Amino acid sequence: MLKKIILGILILVLAGGITFLGKFLIGQVYSFLLIDPESSLRAAARSQVAEPKAPEVETLLASVEAEEDYFAKAGIQKFQEKLEAPDFTLKNLEGQEISLKQLRGKVILLNFWATWCGPCRVEKPTLEKLYHEFKDKGLVILAISLDQGDSLQTVRSYYKQYGYSYGALLDPEQEVAQMYAVRGIPATYLIDREGYIVGGVIGAKLWDKEETRKLIAHLLEKSEK
């Protein structure tokens, strides 16, 4: 009888132990299923290495809106997508070949014009003022003449008469004008230091106005950061 009692007690103990062990294992599996493995790994990583802070969205949006504002106030259309400026090679008034690619690293104002163009004559003095203000800060002005015939002598005499000092290039066949889809003059494009067209305007513009000068200053400072 005593042996049967002892045997019964042992069976109960073993059964209880097995039940406890089973509940423990089930609890562990359940807990594991409730925890996202990726979250666990990220938590472990954060405990060892500080996670870098992402740029504030508000700051980025403010920066974009500020640039949009510069272009809008200057009356220049801002290009919404990056467009690499087509490369070209033209001769200047000294007969030297100048390519756009060799000026990479500068902010370039690319202006299509002609000596016979009335609106072009209006804006050229203001381009000269803009050039003198920003030439030492990285601005290059390339005035591409579409004059035909003896364009070299025509443009050279024009520059000498009015005392212009910023760069003039000759495109008598208008090949570069076609590359840039020029349909009327004056037409102007702004190219950043990386060689992308960031804005443009068709028609004459007074380039020495305060808002336009602020835009040019912004592009120069932005490219240096």
The mean per-residue pLDDT over the stretch 154-178 comes to 97
35-44, 98-107, 214-223: range with lowest mean pLDDT: 35-44
Buried b (16+ CB within 10 A) or exposed e, 191-222: bbbebebbbbbeebbebbeeebbebbbbbbee
Query: In the numeric block, which tokens belong to residue 86?
Result: 């087509």
The pLDDT of residue 199 is above 70: yes
User: What pLDDT shows up at residue 31?
Assistant: 36
The pLDDT tens digits of the residues spanning 103-149 come to: 999 999 999 999 999 999 999 999 999 999 999 999 999 999 999 99
DSSP state of 50: P
Cα dihedral across residues 8, 14, 15, 17: positive or negative = positive
pLDDT grade for 53, boundaries at 50, 70 and 90: very low
In the chain, the amino acid numbered 100 is: L
Q: Go through the domains of the chain in sequence order and give each one's CATH number.
A: 2-48 (no CATH), 75-224 (3.40.30.10)
pLDDT grade for 223, boundaries at 50, 70 and 90: low
User: What pLDDT shows up at residue 104?
Assistant: 95
d(CA 172, CA 91): 11
pLDDT grade for 45, boundaries at 50, 70 and 90: very low
The pLDDT of residue 10 is above 90: no
* E strand residue ranges, 62-176: 77-84, 89-92, 97-99, 107-113, 139-145, 167-170
The pLDDT of residue 62 is above 70: no
User: What pLDDT shows up at residue 225?
Assistant: 55
The pLDDT of residue 159 is above 60: yes
d(CA 25, CA 176): 77
pLDDT grade for 193, boundaries at 50, 70 and 90: very high
Q: Which residues contact 76 (CB under 8 A, 6 or more apart)?
A: 190, 199, 200, 201, 205, 212, 215
With contact defined as beta carbons under 8 Å apart, do 168 and 134 qualify? no
Average pLDDT across the chain, whole number: 80
88 or 57, which is more confident? 88
CA nearest 166: which of 140, 146, 190, 188? 140
The pLDDT of residue 43 is above 60: no
20-24, 95-99, 173-177: range with lowest mean pLDDT: 20-24
